[in-house]
Amino acid sequence: MKRLFITVLIISIFAPAWADDDRFDKANSHYSEGQYEQAIQLYEEILSTGVESGELYFNLGNAYYKFGELPSAILNYERARLLKPQDSDIKYNLELAYTQTTDKIETKGTFFLTQWVSSIRNKATSDFWTILGIACFVLTLLFAGFFMYSNSVVLKKAGFYLAIIMVISTSITLSFAYKQKDKLVNRTHAIVFSPSVTVKSSPDVSGTEIFILHEGTKVKVIGTLGNWKEIELANGYIGWIEMETITMI
């Protein structure tokens, strides 16, 4: 009886995961057979249970892309990239999707050092940088031990300089981990879903029309007032649009 209870308990715990895996495989089968709408429905069902992964968002993005829903494809590619920033396939498909949007917005100039640091940070997830930071901290303690307790002058010097290097490495990797985690938790970017939307100079329908955006364009949300969002484009332009015209990444 006890063994039966344990078996039932294990099944009750892991059954949802098996169900999701089954739907994921079915969705992939639908996709491979060109049944994109059915694949989308199953992928979305899995997401509705609270399960998410880079692979799931990526496959959903591919299904939306094939189904002709460009904004939804871009949205899910962007969500996949947040979870797997180092994945070259996600990056390629996202860049391909953006080439098909109406708005071609040039990115404002960024200091080369800032861009270089950002590119390195985006090569891995927050979990990876956290683990690496912990490893660097452990090495810091190890080398500090060499410096404090070794009788060899050579080991003392080596331990001192290596400990300094590891302290710096720990600070950098943990700051990378914080930045990557912050991007996941506090999402500030969105995708325009309306075929076209007029950006206003103020959060009001009577505000001056500044410019027009089209579906698939990525914007940064920098403020909220009622039903309006203040957005900033990659080129630095700022304005207000209604909340229902965008979907947060």
Residue 204: give its domain's CATH number.
Answer: 2.30.30.40
Q: Which pair of tokens denotes residue 203?
A: 């959060």
Phi, psi of 213 (to 5 degrees): -115, 155
Residue 139, classified by CB atoms within 10 Å of its CB into exposed (0-12), middle (13-18) or buried (19+), is middle
Last residue of a domain, one of 158, 185, 212: 185
Evaluate whether residue 105 is within a structural domain.
Answer: no
Same structural domain, 70 and 126: no
pTM of the model: 0.81
Tens place of pLDDT per residue across the chain (249 aa): 444 334 334 444 444 443 446 899 999 999 999 999 999 999 999 999 988 899 999 999 999 999 999 999 999 999 999 999 989 999 999 999 999 999 988 887 677 788 888 889 988 889 999 999 999 999 999 999 999 999 999 999 999 999 999 999 999 999 999 999 998 889 999 999 999 999 999 999 999 999 999 999 999 999 999 999 999 999 999 999 999 999 999
- Contacts of residue 191, Cβ cutoff 8 Å, sequence gap at least 6: 71, 74, 75, 78, 216, 217, 218, 219, 246, 247, 249
Evaluate whether residue 163 is within a structural domain.
Answer: yes
Evaluate whether residue 106 is within a structural domain.
Answer: no
| Domain CATH code at residue 34 | 1.25.40.10
Q: What's the confidence (pLDDT) of residue 14?
A: 44
Evaluate whether residue 135 is within a structural domain.
Answer: yes
- If one counts the domains in the chain, the total is 3
Q: What's the confidence (pLDDT) of residue 167?
A: 96
Same structural domain, 33 and 19: yes
Evaluate whether residue 83 is within a structural domain.
Answer: yes
Q: Which domain holds residue 130?
A: 112-185
- Say if residues 200 and 208 touch (Cβ distance below 8 Å): yes
Evaluate whether residue 56 is within a structural domain.
Answer: yes
Q: What's the confidence (pLDDT) of residue 183?
A: 87
Q: DSSP 3-state assignment of 51?
A: coil
Last residue of a domain, one of 185, 213, 230: 185
Torsion, Cα of 46, 47, 51, 52 (10° steps)? 120
Evaluate whether residue 8 is within a structural domain.
Answer: yes
Question: What is the distance between the alpha carbons of residues 62 and 57, in angstroms, rounded to a whole number?
Answer: 9
Same structural domain, 86 and 22: yes
Q: Which pair of tokens denotes residue 231?
A: 């957005």
Same structural domain, 88 and 117: no
Question: What is the distance between the alpha carbons of residues 159 and 228, in angstroms, rounded to a whole number?
Answer: 57
Q: What's the confidence (pLDDT) of residue 45?
A: 95
